[in-house]
Amino acid sequence: MNVSLTPSLEQYVRDCASTDDYNNASEVVREAIRLHKQREEHRQLKLERLREAIQVGIDDMENGNFADYSLDSFIDELDNKAKV
C-alpha cells in the first residue's frame, strides 16, 4: 500500500521517526492509524449510548411519562419565587 502525504505531514512523520520513540516512519504511521481507530471506536460507542438515551426519552413520551411545561408558566414560576 502506498500513501500520499502532504509535505508538512511527511516532514512530521520523518521528525517523529528520528526520535527514540519510533524506529521508522512505518511505526509512526501504524501508531497514527491505531489511535485513529481507537478514537473512532470511542465515538461510535458514544453515539450508540446517545441513541439509547434518546430512545428511552421517546419510550417515556409514548408511555405518557412526561411533564408538560410552557415557557410562560416557567417564567411565572420564577417570578413568584423571586417575590417570596
Report the C-alpha gap between 39 and 5 in whole angstroms: 21
- pTM of the model as a whole: 0.67
The pLDDT score that the predictor gives to residue 12 is 97
pLDDT tens sequence across 11-31: 999 999 999 999 999 999 999
Q: What share of the chain is helix, strand, coil (3-state, %, to 5)?
A: 75, 0, 25
Burial 15-25 (b: 16+ CB within 10 A, else e): ebbeeeebeee
Report the C-alpha gap between 66 and 29 in whole angstroms: 50
